[in-house]
Amino acid sequence: MISRRSALAGLGAGSAVLLSRGGALAQSSSYARVISVGGAVTETVFALGLGDKLRAVDTTSTYPVAALQLPKVGYLRQLSAEGVLSMEPDLIMLSSEAGPAAAIDQLKGSGIPLAQIPVGRTADGLSAMINAVGKATGLTEDARRLAQSVATQLDSLAAGLPAGPKKSVLLILSAGNGPLLGAGANTAASAIIDFAGGALAFPEMEGYKAISMEPVLAANPDWIVLPSHVCEALGGPEGVAKLDIVSRTTAGAEGRVAIIDSHYLLGFGPRAPEAAADLATLLYPEADIPALGREAVPSSHVTVLGAP
């Protein structure tokens, strides 16, 4: 069960690293030209009602739709300090995964208030990320309430999961011209599968690794899940259906293949409990999985391929 105490602990070791010209970032919500880098960070900014303060975002910031309309400063891990500074921001918020290091150092030395936001894929990590965005923007109390809501949703989901053996999931991160990359331990995929009460098809594998057909057949996963960007790279659901791992597995033959919006599933923003609930709904259709605010069960972010 998720501890609510950790969600309410506020800004401990996982707090944002704050820098500014004066050495301390003013706790104010008056920023008007904010740059947000990192999909989870941007999603949180909008969840706190500050979307209208955003000047630009990075290319991983795909939710909500309003984020897609904003100017882009490049890819999360390949930022140009000059490109960010050209937007004349009055606050820069960077995911802890942002890079390269040289660009981050240049931004730190610019004299513009900057917050490095920790990104975690645990219940505590989600709370720390939300609270850090709140501290950076001066909305600490709003962020505390949002973090509490997310923690409560995770508690509710955990309470609704069935006892007994866990259903296994093979999540494919990449397919097409290169090798199939399957998800192993210590990944965003393993974290969301764990939230959903599932188990990895390859629990002994670390990270994302190339997988071949024979081990997949031996593992015989209960569900095969593809993030939407993988489906798009394959040309849509028709391309997914042609994959050997779909056409030759029990999961594929029985229609247990799902395509789920990539950022929703793996982004670990405030919607992470809903994404986990969607996955749990697929794994355990007879269980009383809470809706958690989803507009449908499963939500519109999920497409299930029917049996051939």
User: 43 with 102, same domain?
Assistant: yes
Q: In the prediction, which pLDDT does 78 show? A: 97
Q: In the prediction, which pLDDT does 308 show? A: 67
Q: List, for residues 107-141, the tens digit of each pLDDT value.
A: 999 999 999 999 989 999 999 999 999 999 999 99
Inter-residue contact 147 to 130 (CB < 8 Å): yes
Domain with residue 112: its CATH number is 3.40.50.1980
**What sign does the CA torsion over 242, 245, 248, 251 have?**
negative
User: 120 with 177, same domain?
Assistant: no
User: 243 with 117, same domain?
Assistant: no
Question: Tokens 């993988």 appear where?
Answer: 230
User: 43 with 131, same domain?
Assistant: yes
Amino acid at site 82: E
Q: In the prediction, which pLDDT does 8 show? A: 32
Q: In the prediction, which pLDDT does 177 show? A: 74
User: 136 with 170, same domain?
Assistant: no
Distance between start and end Cα atoms, the chain: 39
Domain that holds residue 230: 164-305
Boundary (domain end) residue, out of 102, 123, 158 = 158
Q: How many CB atoms lie within 10 A of CB 98?
A: 26
Residue 290 phi/psi, 5-degree rounding, is -65, 150
- Cα–Cα distance, 181 to 173 (Å, whole number): 5
The residues near 22 (Cβ < 8 Å, ≥ 6 apart) are none
User: 123 with 170, same domain?
Assistant: no
User: 51 with 94, same domain?
Assistant: yes
Q: List, for residues 151-168, the tens digit of each pLDDT value.
A: 999 999 999 999 999 999
Question: Tokens 């150092």 appear where?
Answer: 105
Write out residues in the chain with pLDDT < 50, as ranges: 1-28
Boundary (domain end) residue, out of 158, 192, 212 = 158
Q: How many domains does the chain have?
A: 2
Query: What is the maximum span of the chain, computed from C-alpha positions, in angstroms?
Result: 63
Q: Which residues pair with 171 in a beta bridge?
A: 225
User: 177 with 235, same domain?
Assistant: yes
Which pTM value belongs to this model? 0.89
Q: In the prediction, which pLDDT does 17 show? A: 41
102 vs 78, 93, 168, 216, CA distance in Å?
Answer: 10, 16, 41, 41
User: 29 with 153, same domain?
Assistant: yes
Q: In the prediction, which pLDDT does 11 show? A: 33
User: 171 with 185, same domain?
Assistant: yes
Boundary (domain end) residue, out of 158, 181, 213 = 158
User: 126 with 190, same domain?
Assistant: no
Helix ranges, 161-249 (H): 188-195, 213-219, 228-233, 237-242, 244-247
Q: In the prediction, which pLDDT does 114 show? A: 97
User: 153 with 200, same domain?
Assistant: no
